[in-house]
Chains A and B, each alone.
Chain A
Amino acid sequence: MSDYARDLRPLAGLRVMEISRGIAGASAGALLRSWGAEVVLVVPEEGHPLATQAPFSEAGVSLHDVYFNSKKERRTVAGAVDAALLADLGAGVDGAILEGDPPEVAALAAALKIPAVTITPFGLLGPRRHWKSSELVAQAYAGILFITGAPEREPLRIGVPLCEYAAGQAAAAALLSAVVAEAPQYRHAEVSVVEAALSIMEHSFATWEFQRRHWPRRGNHGTAAWGIYPCKDGYVGVISGLGESWQRFRRLIGGGMLDEKYAEISARGEHADDVHAFVLGWLAERTAEEAFRDAQDAGLPFSILADAGQVLGLDQLEARGYFEERALNGTVARIPGQAAQFFVEAGL
């Protein structure tokens, strides 16, 4: 991109107030901050709720607070935020993120004349608007929990805060939509964590609605050639792909997979045990790194099953300058940075 210049702060000049209590609100602010917005984090005297949430550093600092709330401008307030205080806090800001229980955030939004987005667990209205939630509960309600885990065991929570993060993403986009629209009817947006989580669902809902078939938990590879497989030194994510990719997959695995019996991708279902065995045999002779490289060289989207330490060591992320740095335990730690790099034509 030699004729383009990196734009590290596409949202430069945008000032956003954040009243949050969990990951949904804090991640919305963090996302906007990563794109260059100034985020004013309103912190109660007793501290931000995320600052009390485990895990903690050696110095007792919440890692949630480090990740989601650093590089925000903190404004400590005494007592509840009422209309008068809100007017003071809102002076000079272009938008607001308001996370909390329905009556409180609705009242705050109503008092604001600037773009604002409310984030609540189940929505501002409806018979269960007062229900309490957690990431586990949101995954349960959105149908995510039911389909994760081993078929013979209990449903399993996805180990990252998927629902709350999805709500944060939707809220950040909603606030920016209001800024773009500049229309009174699109000033105040509403995001419910559960609905945001549902909006990223699909297979189990479409399968029911189109076929009246129940989508069960499938464990690590419910369908052949699609899932997590063991290899010589760990695990590999395997995808045979769609369309012509299936033929590349057959050529990569070789041996019995080249039999005409497996010529169509429907062989994944019709001869699942055979396909499964061929894949296991191929992987048994390769390390995760070898399988990843061999498959990618053949145009197939395999991957390594990486843990946190391996993610931090990925060449690709390092080469793109992905990580940001934060102080932690007297040293420097790395956290995820911008996932979207913005560029402007240099001559403009």
Chain B
Amino acid sequence: VKGPLDGIRVLDFGIVWAGPQATRLLGDQGADVIKVESARRMDLIRGPVAPLSGTAGCYPDQEAGERPWNRHGYFIERNRNKRSVCLDLTMPEGRELALRLAAKCDLVLDNFKAGTMDRLGLGARHIHAVNPGAVVVSMSAYGASGPWRSYSGYGATIDALSGAVAATGYPGDGQSQNLGINSSDPVAGQHAYGAVLAALVARKRDGKGRFIDLSQLESAVRLMGVGLLEEQAGLPTNHLGNGEQGYAYSAVLRCEGEEQWLAVSCRDEAEVAVLLDVVGVEGLDGMEAALTQRDRDFVAMALQERGVAAAPVYAAEEALEDEQLRDRDFYVELDHAEVGRRRYLGTPVRWQGRAREFEYRPAPLLGEHTDEVLREVLGLGDQELQELRERGVTADDPRAHV
């Protein structure tokens, strides 16, 4: 048994981040995720077929290599535990094969613009006609109805529209600040992960499939619930910077060394007193200057030992070496045929203390599992597979389409 979702099969049309995040989470929990792409139209996050240089994407050691589409770090981070099938969906045979696969899956997911799957003959109606028990998820930017249903969005622009960027900024300057991560993408992916499971629970109860119309904007706005209430209550919605509501004092403070910062949150005056004591100053006025002479990690540790929430402000390379996360085996090391052995972020759910339920597989090469999946799921034979390849239905070299 590979995890709680062992036995659940997913047909994944996800691209870039939001969709692939959802299906990565499902794959981490044991679902069999079949990622559908085509040589003509790969997942965009694989990068260009022929990048001008190795700096044009997240390639290992800035070397794009002969097959850059198999070497992009963002694609590889988001697509582990998946099998890749290449089908040319511009060809009727490609679409027919996709529908036949959908007939054998528990879940079909995309994050295209609303209506795209319908135009391909792969929308909820088409899938439910051949597989009434399927859970079909469309996670478009703004949802499948309403005046913006045909509009497109990326994580960064949905962050801006959701109110999260407007809520982020340094006090006093009136300037909102972009979020360091395009959080709307993974937040929507996580939302879809939960929604899919809700539909599977419902199917278990009543035997019915579901269509889920998930709006990435709406999942992002759920983070703004308190902010929306503040606005309606007539309360000020000024930028708090690193201040936190309900805390006596919270801040990000410079420590000794370049880009060494400490985050600290004191719930009450007693905790502020602990902070002053640890830093060795009389009042908050002298603290910032004193901290520039202190070691960040030492102060964080000293505060935590006395029950005050504090932490080093980690850069990614520091978080990768953190003792708590390493002790818990959070990061995953995977061997990939094109990029070698590297570390990846772990999964957020563990069972009985185990970081993983099975040996993870790295992200697939483009079309790596086409024949394997068509043989296993649809029962195609060697001759049929050969003919599909000759007609270009399952071609997996994108250079032919540049």
Query: A257 near B: Cβ within 8 Å?
Result: no
- Of B232-240, B278-286, B366-374, B383-391, the one touching chain A: B232-240
Q: Are B229 and A204 in contact (CB under 8 A)?
A: no
A134 and B166 alpha carbons, distance in the complex (Å): 21
A171 and B147 alpha carbons, distance in the complex (Å): 33
Q: Are A210 and B145 in contact (CB under 8 A)?
A: no
Query: How many chain B residues touch A (Cβ–Cβ < 8 Å)?
Result: 163
Q: Are A173 and B190 in contact (CB under 8 A)?
A: yes
Give per-residue flags for A291-316: 1 if the beta carbon is below 8 A from chain B beta carbons, else 0: 00000100111111111111110111
Interface residues of A in 193-225 (CB under 8 A from B): 194-196, 198-212, 214-215, 217-221
Q: Are B181 and A186 in contact (CB under 8 A)?
A: no
Q: Are B215 and A211 in contact (CB under 8 A)?
A: no
The 8 closest A-B pairs by CB, nearest first: A159-B167, A237-B160, A147-B180, A148-B180, A176-B197, A140-B263, A200-B186, A181-B4
Give per-residue flags for A41-57: 1 if the beta carbon is below 8 A from chain B beta carbons, else 0: 00000000000111101
Interface residues of B in 336-373 (CB under 8 A from A): 339, 342-353
Within the complex, the shortest CB–CB distance from B330 to chain A, in Å, comes to: 6
Q: Are A10 and B198 in contact (CB under 8 A)?
A: yes
Give per-residue flags for A147-159: 1 if the beta carbon is below 8 A from chain B beta carbons, else 0: 1111001111111
A316 and B199 alpha carbons, distance in the complex (Å): 25
Query: B44 near A: Cβ within 8 Å?
Result: yes
Query: B27 near A: Cβ within 8 Å?
Result: no
Cβ-neighbour of A204 out of B167, B237, B316 (below 8 A): B316
* Known contacts A54-B245, A195-B325, A308-B231, A208 near B191 by CB under 8 Å: no
Cβ-neighbour of B191 out of A117, A202, A340 (below 8 A): A340
Query: Looking across the interface, which residue of chain B has its beta carbon closest to that of A27?
Result: B222
Query: B146 near A: Cβ within 8 Å?
Result: yes
Within the complex, the shortest CB–CB distance from A56 to chain B, in Å, comes to: 9
Query: A139 near B: Cβ within 8 Å?
Result: yes
* Known contacts A190-B350, A348-B208, A173 near B177 by CB under 8 Å: no
- Of B87-95, B97-105, B306-314, the one touching chain A: B306-314
Cβ-neighbour of B74 out of A58, A158, A202, A320 (below 8 A): A202
Q: Are A219 and B178 in contact (CB under 8 A)?
A: yes
Cβ-neighbour of B235 out of A55, A242, A338 (below 8 A): A55
A317 and B216 alpha carbons, distance in the complex (Å): 12
Within the complex, the shortest CB–CB distance from B243 to chain A, in Å, comes to: 8
Q: Are B349 and A173 in contact (CB under 8 A)?
A: yes
Cβ-neighbour of B157 out of A64, A214, A299, A301 (below 8 A): A301
Q: Are B313 and A146 in contact (CB under 8 A)?
A: yes
A-chain residues with CB within 8 Å of residue B343 when the two chains form the complex: 209
A237 and B348 alpha carbons, distance in the complex (Å): 30
A-chain residues with CB within 8 Å of residue B309 when the two chains form the complex: 131-134, 136-137
Interface residues of A in 171-199 (CB under 8 A from B): 171-174, 176-181, 183, 185-186, 188-192, 194-196, 198-199
Q: Are A156 and B177 in contact (CB under 8 A)?
A: yes
Given contacts A210-B61, A334-B228, A334-B232, 10 further A-B contacts (CB under 8 A): A128-B323, A137-B264, A148-B180, A166-B186, A195-B328, A199-B348, A205-B320, A301-B157, A306-B162, A333-B232
Cβ-neighbour of B211 out of A12, A141, A343 (below 8 A): A343
Within the complex, the shortest CB–CB distance from B300 to chain A, in Å, comes to: 9
A58 and B325 alpha carbons, distance in the complex (Å): 43
B-chain residues with CB within 8 Å of residue A177 when the two chains form the complex: 4-5, 29, 197, 349
B-chain residues with CB within 8 Å of residue A83 when the two chains form the complex: none
Query: B25 near A: Cβ within 8 Å?
Result: yes
Within the complex, the shortest CB–CB distance from A128 to chain B, in Å, comes to: 4
Within the complex, the shortest CB–CB distance from A29 to chain B, in Å, comes to: 12
A-chain residues with CB within 8 Å of residue B214 when the two chains form the complex: 339-341
Within the complex, the shortest CB–CB distance from B10 to chain A, in Å, comes to: 13
Query: A169 near B: Cβ within 8 Å?
Result: yes
Q: Are A339 and B316 in contact (CB under 8 A)?
A: no
Q: Are A303 and B157 in contact (CB under 8 A)?
A: yes
B-chain residues with CB within 8 Å of residue A176 when the two chains form the complex: 194, 197-198, 200-201
B-chain residues with CB within 8 Å of residue A217 when the two chains form the complex: 180
Cβ-neighbour of B229 out of A4, A66, A266 (below 8 A): A66
A302 and B226 alpha carbons, distance in the complex (Å): 26
Give per-residue flags for A262-278: 1 if the beta carbon is below 8 A from chain B beta carbons, else 0: 00111001000000000
Query: B223 near A: Cβ within 8 Å?
Result: yes
Q: Are B194 and A309 in contact (CB under 8 A)?
A: no
Q: Are A319 and B316 in contact (CB under 8 A)?
A: no
Q: Are B219 and A339 in contact (CB under 8 A)?
A: yes
Q: Are A315 and B313 in contact (CB under 8 A)?
A: no
A298 and B267 alpha carbons, distance in the complex (Å): 49
Query: B141 near A: Cβ within 8 Å?
Result: yes
Q: Are B176 and A235 in contact (CB under 8 A)?
A: yes
Q: Are B225 and A181 in contact (CB under 8 A)?
A: no
Q: Are B261 and A220 in contact (CB under 8 A)?
A: no
Q: Are A195 and B346 in contact (CB under 8 A)?
A: yes
Query: B319 near A: Cβ within 8 Å?
Result: yes
* Known contacts A145-B263, A159-B169, A215-B315, A333 near B147 by CB under 8 Å: no
Q: Are A146 and B180 in contact (CB under 8 A)?
A: yes
Within the complex, the shortest CB–CB distance from B138 to chain A, in Å, comes to: 10
Q: Are A173 and B161 in contact (CB under 8 A)?
A: no
Q: Are B165 and A140 in contact (CB under 8 A)?
A: no
* Known contacts A14-B201, A306-B161, A4 near B73 by CB under 8 Å: no
A328 and B350 alpha carbons, distance in the complex (Å): 39
